[in-house]
Structure 1
Amino acid sequence: MHLPRLSGKDDEGSAALEFIAVGVILLVPLIYLVIALGAIQEQTFGAEAAARHIARVVARAPDPTTAAERSDAVLAGIVGEYGLDEDAVDLSLSCRPLVVECPSAGATIIVTVTTRVGLPLVPEVFGLDRSTAVPVQAEAVQKVSRRWGAE
């Protein structure tokens, strides 16, 4: 037995159209999220690599001048390799125990690299690109030889 329709509209085929429309509406933000998280992860890997390699270079350098030169070269290489914004990268070095001259023989150096990751497709209008940037920070710790600077 076939019941007659109460409304005069024909709904045949609208489910597929609704599925496609809702799918697109949900898929676009999901794709943006994947792209944004990928950019943040790439910059995080860059900051971690910079901190780790700079700590090693400074700890293995024979003197402070060589340590500064090598750490600048490593940072430039990491910035180029991971696409970090050179102006947004901040590098700091501290020592434990606190000493007058850092790095020094026998100290433990702590290298901190901070940067800001701009989200993709955010316009520069009204400073939106700066206000939506995600801060990223990485630290690395390395023990300096007791004979550091004596060679």
Structure 2
Amino acid sequence: MSVDRLGAGGGDERGSASLEFLTVGILLLVPLVYLVMAIAAIQGGALAVEGAARHAARVAVLSEDARDVRSAVERSVRISLADYGIAPEATSVELTCEPAGGCSEPGARVRVEVDATVVLPLFPSFLGLDRFGSVQVSGTATQTVSRFAGVGP
């Protein structure tokens, strides 16, 4: 028996290993790339709300006008989240002060909580499908008003 006769029954399979490798590689690579993109979007959103909350708490503590604190906080959150591409409609801001009397009293603790909805990549917005492909992220920051706040030189 020659070597050619043994291989003749199985047919010619030269090159099929590379085709199988490419097929399986693409089938595994596409979900892996999407997973990395989704995790990056969620991490970016988490960093955005955390930074926005921290910045808004600082703005509230340093605000001179007690009546303008809430609008200054919302404005700073909107600007901070715009840097990350998060729409203002997808966010909510909650400002609380302890004691409840005011956010500008010396020793008051100001707490800012920012919630945002991060839409995962490649989810279409028509028919409300982006609602299913979104993740809620939140960030909280607390600052204390200086005991020397409002004291002139």
TM-score category by the smaller chain? 0.7 to 0.9
Q: How big is each residue's C-alpha offset from its partner over 1:98-131, in whole Å with a ceiling of 9 and x where there is no partner?
A: x333424122111100001111111235422112
How far off is 1:73 after superposition?
3.1
1-structure distance, mates of 2:96, 2:151: 20
How far off is 1:4 after superposition?
0.6
Aligned to 1:120, the other structure's residue is in SS state: coil
Question: Quick one: structure 1 residues 100 and 108, their matched pair in 2 at CA, closer, same or farther if it must change by over 3 Å?
Answer: closer
Q: TM-score, normalised by structure 2?
A: 0.84
Query: Do the aligned partners of 1:94 and 1:102 also contact (CA within 8 Å) in 2?
Result: no
Question: Quick one: structure 1 residues 104 and 140, their matched pair in 2 at CA, closer, same or farther if it must change by over 3 Å?
Answer: same
**Bigger mean CA deviation after superposition, 64-73 or 127-136:** 64-73
Alignment of 1:1-151 (within 5 A): 2=3, 4-5=6-7, 7-96=9-98, 99-105=99-105, 106-148=107-149
Percentage of matched positions with identical amino acids = 39
Q: TM-score, normalised by structure 1?
A: 0.85
1-structure distance, mates of 2:64, 2:125: 45
How far off is 1:146 after superposition?
3.6
For the aligned residue pairs, the C-alpha RMSD in angstroms reads: 2.2
How far off is 1:149 after superposition?
5.6
How far off is 1:150 after superposition?
6.6
Unaligned runs of 5+ in 2: none
2-structure distance, mates of 1:69, 1:87: 16
- Structure 1 runs of 4+ off > 4 angstroms? 147-151
Size of the alignment, in residue pairs? 149
